């Protein structure tokens, strides 16, 4: 797999010398320093990392900031449309974006299993770099640990993110109002199905790729154009339904969703039927819902469609009547609720 990064085409640590990660690479000695200097600094080097401290000093403006953290344990590490690195960067960026923050800085914690091929690690590092550049964020601090062979599933990634809030909106479930329209920015279910197909060796007529992508650019455009956003939520584990049920409970409002307006690709729908899944519960990594007053409908749709797709899938009903009602394609109604666990484990 060739890197798209201009500054290097090959792993900077000679593969012939260290073809696999050793326990010593996490031991704090020469090999760990070599790993940090020749791989991580080579990819992410910037003035913040040059502080070479256990914590980084960030000179922020006097604005509000958003802070988030998450861990990524996907299996397999590489899948159609993404990899564990794209999940880590975009997942962190998207969590910050859902509060209306402009993502700026990310911390990177790697837990590497002894025996991971160094070439695989370099592919992950180059993907981290590529996705940071795409989202406009910097990795400014990090940590590396190596665990015994058989105890790490290749690699786990932990990230934290900081973003700055440059607007006066309060974006939260408490701001959801009766009559708000519920928008979505694309088709659902692709990430979970892409993972499942790769993991189980399933082949479909067309390869289903994950929707993994950063959301900060579209959110920034919505805010910059003055769209009044009351609340946002990215649709990760638990999919669309889990996000809707959680926000309905938090806000105290009923949500009414029209099934015919929820976009599901035919190949994803067919895969879900084959596997016994419901696409509305399948994970996504580049989709979000937003609650916006009807007066801003056209402006919101114009911006969402600039990024590929936008649609209103429902609206907010009465207060003190929380719950999610789905109007089916044939006009019947049913209550949507969270499932007790996960349809697909280890998908992010």
Contact status, residue 83 vs residue 77, Cβ threshold 8 Å: yes
pLDDT at 14 over 60: no
Task: Say what percent of the chain tops pLDDT 70.
Answer: 90
**Where are the domains positioned within the chain?**
23-165, 173-336
Euclidean distance between CA atoms 316 and 179, whole angstroms: 5
Helix or strand (DSSP H, E) at 87: helix 84-97
Tokens of 178: 């009766």
Q: What is the CA radius of gyration of the chain?
A: 21
Chosen CATH of 173-336 out of 3.90.650.10, 3.10.20.30, 3.30.460.80, 3.40.1160.10? 3.90.650.10
Residue 51: pLDDT band (50, 70, 90) is confident
| pLDDT-derived band at 156, boundaries 50, 70, 90 | very high
Helices vs strands, H then E, count in the chain:
9, 13
Alpha-carbon gap, residue 142 to 130, rounded angstroms: 17
pLDDT at 181: 98
Mean pLDDT along residues 278-301: 96
pLDDT tens column, 174-213 = 999 999 999 999 999 999 999 989 988 887 778 899 999 9
Round to whole Å and give the CA distance between 117 and 119: 5
Cα→Cα distances 192→80, 245, 275, 324, Å: 11, 19, 12, 22
What is the CATH T-level fold of the domain 23-165, as seen in this structure?
60s Ribosomal Protein L30; Chain: A; (3.30.1330)
Average pLDDT of the residues in 149-166: 93
């Amino acid at each position: 797999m060739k890197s798209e990064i201009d500054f290097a085409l090959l792993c900077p640590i000679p593969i012939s010398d260290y073809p696999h990660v050793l326990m010593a690479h996490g031991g704090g000695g020469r090999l760990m320093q070599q790993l940090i200097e020749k791989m991580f600094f080579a990819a992410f080097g910037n003035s913040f990392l040059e502080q070479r401290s256990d914590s980084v000093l960030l000179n922020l403006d006097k604005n509000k900031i958003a802070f988030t953290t998450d861990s990524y344990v996907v299996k397999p590490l590489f899948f159609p449309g993404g990899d564990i690195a794209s999940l880590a960067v975009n997942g962190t960026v998207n969590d910050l974006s859902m509060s209306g923050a402009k993502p700026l800085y990310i911390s990177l914690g790697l837990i590497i299993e002894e025996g991971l091929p160094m070439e695989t690690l370099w592919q992950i590092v180059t993907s981290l770099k590529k996705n940071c550049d795409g989202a406009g964020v910097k990795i400014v601090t990090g940590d590396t640990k190596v665990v015994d062979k058989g105890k790490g599933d290749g690699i786990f990634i932990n990230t934290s993110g900081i973003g700055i809030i440059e607007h006066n909106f309060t974006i939260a479930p408490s701001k959801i109002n009766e009559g708000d329209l519920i928008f979505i920015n694309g088709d659902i279910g692709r990430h979970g199905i892409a993972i499942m197909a790769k993991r189980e060796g399933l082949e479909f007529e067309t390869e289903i790729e994950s929707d993994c992508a950063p959301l900060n650019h579209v959110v920034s455009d919505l805010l910059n154009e003055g769209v009044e956003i009351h609340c946002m939520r990215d649709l990760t584990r638990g999919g669309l339904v889990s996000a809707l049920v959680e926000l309905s409970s938090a806000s105290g409002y009923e949500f009414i969703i029209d099934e015919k307006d929820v976009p599901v690709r035919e190949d994803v729908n067919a895969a879900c039927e084959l596997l016994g899944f419901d696409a509305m519960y399948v994970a996504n990594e580049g989709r979000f819902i937003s609650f916006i007053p009807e007066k801003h409908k056209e402006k919101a749709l114009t911006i969402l469609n600039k990024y590929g797709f936008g649609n209103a899938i429902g609206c907010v009903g009465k207060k003190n009547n929380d719950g999610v009602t789905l109007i089916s394609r044939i006009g019947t109604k049913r209550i949507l609720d969270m499932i007790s666990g996960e349809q697909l484990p280890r998908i992010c």
